[in-house]
Amino acid sequence: GAGVSQSPSNKVTEKGKDVELRCDPISGHTALYWYRQSLGQGLEFLIYFQGNSAPDKSGLPSDRFSAERTGGSVSTLTIQRTQQEDSAVYLCASSPHPLSQGAGQPQHFGDGTRLSIL
Amino acid sequence: DAKTTQPTSMDCAEGRAANLPCNHSTISGNEYVYWYRQIHSQGPQYIIHGLKNNETNEMASLIITEDRKSSTLILPHATLRDTAVYYCIVRNAYSGAGSYQLTFGKGTKLSVIP
């Protein structure tokens, strides 16, 4: 489809394992965002990519979290040595560049990866 | 970003219009009003946004008061699939680092009743 695609939709893993989450943004969107949402909670910003600029990593909760975006499209979020408090839904969003389509462009979300750490 | 206030919950009869209010009395000139919704187990879904003028798309209409201190999202013919939590967000699209971070409040839980 034409929306943001995330995989896997569900991931169950043991504490201490590494996990990799994938996000495929909407074609042509230059901005990509990662958030996480714990049960019944709001959005927690993690990281933001815009084109070829250096990403804003200010929301990453620890150095166990990292993300990359290859070729300005697909992004992977990696969590090393997972802990139980990492259990959450990890959401990816994308949006067009404001200079190409005007300011105020909305973010469009995928359905997330539900991560459960045993 | 300006704070928003929404009712905690609302009911709407199926087939009727759902009117969801949002107060944003501290909104500033460069801040847009965005509406998203989240259905259980799905990611947030963008609905509509506006700056000053009323907006309409295939999903909904957005009515913004002349002083921009409040707005109403209108779902013209609510269906059972519109049952969700609806979030009103005010965000400055022109400011620097951090302006792109979306923050959802508690939102309004809309229940569409058969």
Query: Is pLDDT at B96 greater than 60 in this prediction?
Result: no
A60 — contact with chain B (CB < 8 Å)?
no
Terminal-to-terminal C-alpha distance of chain B: 37
C-alpha separations of B14 from A29, B40, B87 in Å: 36, 19, 20
Question: Up-side HSE of residue B88: CA atoms within 13 Å toward CB?
Answer: 29
Measured between CA atoms, how close is B107 to chain A, in angstroms? Answer: 10
Measured between CA atoms, how close is A108 to chain B, in angstroms? Answer: 6
What average pLDDT score do residues A70-76 get?
89
C-alpha separations of A83 from A46, A79, A80, A108 in Å: 17, 9, 9, 28
CB contact under 8 A, A106 and B103: no
Q: What is the pLDDT of residue A53?
A: 86
* A34-43, A80-89, B66-75, B86-95: range with lowest mean pLDDT: B86-95
Q: Phi and psi at residue A108, in whole multiples of 5°?
A: -115, 130
Go through chain B and tell me how many residues it has: 114
Q: Which residues of B touch A55 (CB under 8 A)?
A: none
Choose the mutation target among B101, B106, B109 for the interface with A, i.e. most A CBs under 10 Å: B101
pLDDT band at A2, cuts 50/70/90? confident
Q: What is the pLDDT of residue B27?
A: 92
Q: Is A71 left (phi over 0), alpha (psi -120 to 50) or beta?
A: left
pLDDT digits (tens, 9 = 90+) for B28-45: 888 899 999 999 889 999
Cα nearest neighbour of B42 on chain A: A111
